[in-house]
Structure 1
Amino acid sequence: MDFIIQMEPSYDHNEKNALNEYMESGGWLMEFKKTRELESMIADYTGAKYCSIMPNGTVSLSVALIACGIGVGDEVIVPDYTMVATPNAVELIGAKAVFVDIDRDTLCMDYDAMVNAVTEKTKAVFFVSINGRCPKDIDKYVEFCKSRGIHFLEDAAQSLGSFCNGKHLGRFGEIGSFSFSVPKIITTGQGGALITDDEELYNKIVKIRDFGRDKGGSDHYLTKGWNFKFTDVQAVIGIEQMKKLHSRVMRKKEMGKLYEKLLSGITGVELIPTDLEETSPWFYDILADDREKLLEFLKDNGIGSRIFYPPLHAEPAYGYEGHYPITEEISKKGLWLPSAITLTDEQITYVCGKIREYYN
């Protein structure tokens, strides 16, 4: 069997033909009608009233904070276990990222840890629905923040196609953010999107991402803004990717069920509880004893895998004091298995067979 890569993008003649048609049409490449079309597709799919697309997910997170009036000297609570873009987006605008531990079952931000981290400087919480998961009591987080006048925002970068209690992730907060980088369920190479039901916040977002001007092509600036615009070239690809989203969500769930079936009962492997009726997994993740040796064993057998994010508070980029026991534990044991949408049942069966062989 050929080497099974841990993750790769998927595109076909539909994207290629659409790009060719766009170029033949004389499109100017810059953001225009195709970008607006993609934004409408995302809003319709998620059920949000508004969507605005950015160059990448990190930028979209920062823009969400700026739209909420957050800046220098403010604190934003983030989980210690997340992709580094979450705290980086906070500190990019001069605010301070305050790390908290995660819940052992969902790997999402722990509620009590969040509550205990609030100070008079806390202006927002960035809730990360890691790997498309979300606690069923997420409304508890929302209500607490609302009662304290704290903005509840969602980093749903890994969660397009995932729901909680029947509601698409990214819609529980005032603003939700998605990413379209290469490993995501749909990709435009790079890209991010903000969704919201709040018209006032949406109007702020639109201005911030386009130099702060009152309308496109104008040289009248109502607020400070930057060039965070997209391109129609990327949007053309994104539109074709969105057409495949439903089938990809269904396939991701099928793959998750097969992984669960074939990995169950292996001593040394812990499966993370996942509601595959609502969650479309980004990566297929396990907690593994002897993780480093397992990783090498898999590699020797033609299988790519990837270790979990580290505890971010202790990374050289931050170097913050603190003890986050759940994050520290799962970061030492966590392993992402092959997760590309192109993965076949035969390949999944081979991967699981090798894991079982290693532990037996």
Structure 2
Amino acid sequence: MQMQPWFAEEEKKAICEYMDEGGFLTEFKRTEKFEQMIAEYTGAKHSIVVNNGTISLTLAAMAVGIEAGDEVIVPNYTMIATPNSVKMFDAVPVFVDVEPETLCLDIEKVKNAITAKTKAIMLVSANGRYPKSGIKAFEDLCKEKNIILIEDSAQSLGSFYPDGRHIGTAGLVGSFSFSAPKIISTGQGGALITNDDEVANKIRRLKDFGRSGGGNDIHDSIGFNFKFTELQACIGIEQMKKLQQRVVRKKEIFELYTKLLKDVKEVKFFEQDLSCTTPWFYDTTVENREELQKFLKENNIGTRVMYGPINKQVAYNVEGEHEVSNMIGQKGLWLPSTTQLTDDEIKYICSKIIEFYKGL
């Protein structure tokens, strides 16, 4: 299997204990505890959890003042949720190519894409990585151009910048996802972190019908229903307790993959600063991708094609050629990435990859 969530007895017990209390299931004390754990781990002042990681980006954009017609720069290599999150309220995603080393936004191409309508940059830390140009370059650019930096850190819980800040805390607001494949999961779910009191307050209102306070029906702003649940929080709390051990294991798996495949010239890994960042998937470019996938599937090994260039998706169909994004669409492959992989399983996977290329 290429990826699967990892739940165990602790999550089952936590849910059963909560159900025995006769709770209402909607977000309350356990959700607050889960939010606190995220805030403490990332070093953020505020953490607000919502029903999924796409809505978290939408709320982040709305809370910082992005409106219909505003342009938001997004990478052309990312999960389609990134541009969809602002398309939802008719803001305009502007696609920019990424660095070949990290798959994060190429800052020189970003500079060329800025117009009078640009309101924000949505920086995706691909697979927990930070841009080769450095996060400060993006912070300085946003300050110079008076535009907002939003961090789509969906794949980056457990990853840090070299200056010690957790990825997601450099922007005005950062977003995480807890969907099934992530390093921790609540099935679906997302979280926003920010050090800005006003932005945090806006997010809390936006996710809860615009209520002026919890449990009342006084609405002085427009809002929606994007709340979490206590059942998800029960799982999330137990998952957070396991996060650090998973961070360690994710890095061990990456090191073993790269060691075993270092002499296979047809397989290339992207730069990964393991002193700071934690790989989520094990992403590669490979030759003869479809044939390799077929061979591995025949040997009970699951893989997954990486995101293709978004501008060429039928949903968007935006003109432009983005060299790196196009290349990933042709050669990008995620190897088995589940945290439960044993060393013996990784050795088996790598032996089959080596066998395939030797047979060409």
TM-score, normalised on structure 2?
Answer: 0.98
Q: Which residue of 2 aligns with 1:120?
A: 116
Answer whether contact 1:103 1:109 (CA < 8 A) is retained.
yes
Q: Please give the per-residue CA displacement for 1:82-137, whole angstroms capped at 9, x wherever unaligned.
A: 00000000100110100000001111110011111000000011000010011251
Structure 1 distance, partners of 2:119, 2:283, is 32
Answer whether contact 2:179 2:189 (CA < 8 A) is retained.
yes
Matching of residues 267-278 of structure 1 within 5 Å: 267-278=265-276
- Select 2:130's aligned residue among 134, 159, 163: 134
Structure 2 distance, partners of 1:39, 1:160, is 13
Answer whether contact 1:210 1:225 (CA < 8 A) is retained.
yes
**Partner-residue secondary structure (3-state), 1:167:** coil
Answer whether contact 1:80 1:327 (CA < 8 A) is retained.
yes
Structure 2 distance, partners of 1:290, 1:51, is 44
Matching of residues 87-236 of structure 1 within 5 Å: 87-135=83-131, 137-165=134-162, 166-236=164-234
Q: Which residue of 1 aligns with 2:295?
A: 297
**Partner-residue secondary structure (3-state), 1:287:** strand
Using the TM superposition, give the Cα deviation of residue 175 of structure 1 relative to its aligned residue in structure 2, in angstroms.
0.3
Using the TM superposition, give the Cα deviation of residue 272 of structure 1 relative to its aligned residue in structure 2, in angstroms.
1.1
Structure 2 distance, partners of 1:105, 1:223, is 44
**Partner-residue secondary structure (3-state), 1:352:** helix
Q: Which residue of 1 aligns with 2:7?
A: 11
Q: Which residue of 2 aligns with 1:61?
A: 57
Structure 2 distance, partners of 1:84, 1:151, is 21
Q: Which residue of 1 aligns with 2:249?
A: 251
Count of aligned pairs = 356
Equivalent AA in structure 2 for residue 31 of structure 1 = E
Structure 2 distance, partners of 1:353, 1:167, is 38
Q: Please give the per-residue CA displacement for 1:187-229, whole angstroms capped at 9, x wherever unaligned.
A: 0000000000111111111111111111012121121110111
Answer whether contact 2:105 2:131 (CA < 8 A) is retained.
no
Q: Structure 1: where are the runs of 5+ without partners?
A: none
Structure 2 distance, partners of 1:222, 1:53, is 22
Answer whether contact 2:158 2:166 (CA < 8 A) is retained.
yes
- Select 1:24's aligned residue among 20, 23, 27: 20
Give the RMSD, CA atoms, in angstroms: 0.8
Answer whether contact 2:128 2:278 (CA < 8 A) is retained.
yes
**Partner-residue secondary structure (3-state), 1:310:** coil
Equivalent AA in structure 2 for residue 313 of structure 1 = N
Q: Which residue of 2 aligns with 1:328?
A: 326
Answer whether contact 2:99 2:131 (CA < 8 A) is retained.
no
Equivalent AA in structure 1 for residue 149 of structure 2 = F
Structure 2 distance, partners of 1:10, 1:271, is 25
Q: Structure 2: where are the runs of 5+ without partners?
A: none
Using the TM superposition, give the Cα deviation of residue 164 of structure 1 relative to its aligned residue in structure 2, in angstroms.
1.4
Equivalent AA in structure 2 for residue 218 of structure 1 = N
Equivalent AA in structure 2 for residue 55 of structure 1 = N
Answer whether contact 1:180 1:187 (CA < 8 A) is retained.
yes
Structure 2 distance, partners of 1:319, 1:274, is 31
Using the TM superposition, give the Cα deviation of residue 267 of structure 1 relative to its aligned residue in structure 2, in angstroms.
2.1
Structure 1 distance, partners of 2:315, 2:294, is 28
Equivalent AA in structure 1 for residue 25 of structure 2 = L
**Partner-residue secondary structure (3-state), 1:82:** coil
Answer whether contact 2:99 2:324 (CA < 8 A) is retained.
yes
Matching of residues 303-322 of structure 1 within 5 Å: 303-322=301-320
Structure 2 distance, partners of 1:267, 1:47, is 40
Q: Which residue of 1 aligns with 2:82?
A: 86
**Partner-residue secondary structure (3-state), 1:108:** coil
Q: Which residue of 2 aligns with 1:350?
A: 348
Equivalent AA in structure 1 for residue 112 of structure 2 = N
**Partner-residue secondary structure (3-state), 2:214:** coil
Structure 2 distance, partners of 1:354, 1:272, is 21
TM-score, normalised on structure 1?
Answer: 0.98
Q: Please give the per-residue CA displacement for 1:62-97, whole angstroms capped at 9, x wherever unaligned.
A: 000000111111000000000000000010011010
Equivalent AA in structure 1 for residue 300 of structure 2 = G
Equivalent AA in structure 2 for residue 285 of structure 1 = D
In percent, how many aligned pairs have the same letter?
54
**Partner-residue secondary structure (3-state), 1:28:** coil
Moved over 4 A (4+): none
